[in-house]
Amino acid sequence: MGADVHTHAGSTKRQTALQDPWFVQWGLIVAAVGVVGVLVLVPVINVFYEALARGAGTYMQNLLADADTRHAILLTLTVAPVAVVLNVVFGVAAAWAIARYQFPGRTILTTLIDLPFAVSPVVAGLIFVLLFGLQGYFGPWLREHHLKIIFATPGLILATAFVTCPFVARELIPVMQAVGTEEEIAALSLGANGWQLFWRVTVPNIKWGLLYGVILCNARAMGEFGAVYVVSGHIAGKTDTMPLRVEKLFQEYNLPGSFALASLLTLLALITLLVKVGLERKMQADAAKALQSASEELLADARAPIKESA
């Protein structure tokens, strides 16, 4: 087989036969950049502009002086991590079961995990109200035991966990399938038990994929609006998370306050994007290294002298 010298699509220099005329190239580039600029970039800039429009002093005041806003920030910082942790444990368990074993109903389980994606956030909140609300199926029981789920933090956690449930699992399943079981089986043969195997062998191999799922899950959890809106009763100072507080301030025509809080959320989104890009590079580098070592192994095997069979 001769060496194939023509370049592949995706390389930086395309053949002259496949190049578009320069005015087509630049016309399309300008159009694409314009679209993304108008739809995505300008809004981001606008958030920070509006937040800081009255000066940095007012900005900090908006965020810290208002007790309800402070509470909203703390509430989001409580609810989201708890939901993320719950979903990480679930995600790891589900990915382990799906990626490592064959069993009847495996495909159904995979589809079930995707189910929350197909449910509108408002409906997600509604179903928890149906279960745990005052007139819900468990309502009387909860009232008897003085437990509050709806219009209280536990409800917020449940609704957020529901909506973000698939993120970690969907990210981990392909990663675990790609990593393969060789190292785990090797560890097993060397006498490791299940947990040692998991912590010492599996987790280090999936750490980037896991982190990727975590940041996506977290970004969604902190930003969730519809489900939390329904479940919280949006009681200011008690059950308003950051996105809900943004909406309340908007309804009260307190735009500077609303934008100040929104800018925090936007900052979070930008940091999520940064971490995401960094993780993607790490995962690509890992994949490239794995490919290289696999091909080096093949090459070494091919060059080894043919041994006489015994």
Partner 1 sequence: MSIEVQNITKAFGTFTALRDVSFQVPTGELVALLGPSGSGKTTLLRIIAGLEVANHGAVLFHGEEATGRSVRDRQVGFVFQHYALFRHMTVFENVTFGLRVLPRRLRPSARDIRTSTPSQRI
Partner 2 sequence: MSTLNRRILPGFRLSLSYALTYLTILVLIPLAACFAKASTLTWDTFWGTVWTERALAAYELTFGASFAAAVMDVALGLLIAWVLVRYEFPLKPLFDAIIDLPLALPTAVAGLVYSSLYVQKGWFGQFLVPIGIEGAYSRLAIVLVLTFIGLPLTVRTIQPVLATCDDETEEAAACLGASRFRTFSYVILPTLYPAMVTGFALAFARALGEYGSVVFVSGNMPYRTEIAPVLIVARLEEFAYGEATAIALVLLVISFSMLILINLLERWSHRYGS
Q: 241 or 308, CB closer to partner 2?
A: 241
219 binding partner (options partner 2, partner 1, none; Cβ < 5 to 8 Å by kind) = partner 2
CA distance 223 to 220: 5
Binding partner at 4 among partner 1, partner 2, none, C-beta below 5 to 8 Å by kind: partner 1
Choosing among partner 2, partner 1, none, which partner's interface includes residue 256 (Cβ < 5 to 8 Å by kind)?
none
Contact letters for partner 1, residues 168-197 (x by CB under 8 A): ------------------------------
- Burial of 207 (C-beta count, 10 Å sphere; 0-12/13-18/19+): middle
End-to-end CA distance of the chain: 34
CB of 29 to partner 1, least distance (A): 22
Token reading at 252: 């009260």
CB of 4 to partner 1, least distance (A): 7
3 binds partner 1 (CB under 8 A): yes
Determine which residue in the list 5, 40, 306, 310 makes contact with partner 1, applying CB under 8 A: 5
What is the C-alpha separation between 62 and 43, in angstroms, rounded? 21
Token match 């087509």: residue? Answer: 24
Q: Does 118 sit near partner 1 (CB under 8 A)?
A: no
Residue 107, both tokens: 């495909």
Contacts of 16 (CB under 8 A, 6+ apart): none
What is the rounded distance in angstroms from the CA atom of residue 110 to the CA atom of residue 96? 12
Site residues for partner 1, window 8-47 (CB under 8 A)? Answer: 15-17
Residues that bind partner 1 (CB under 8 A): 1-6, 15-17
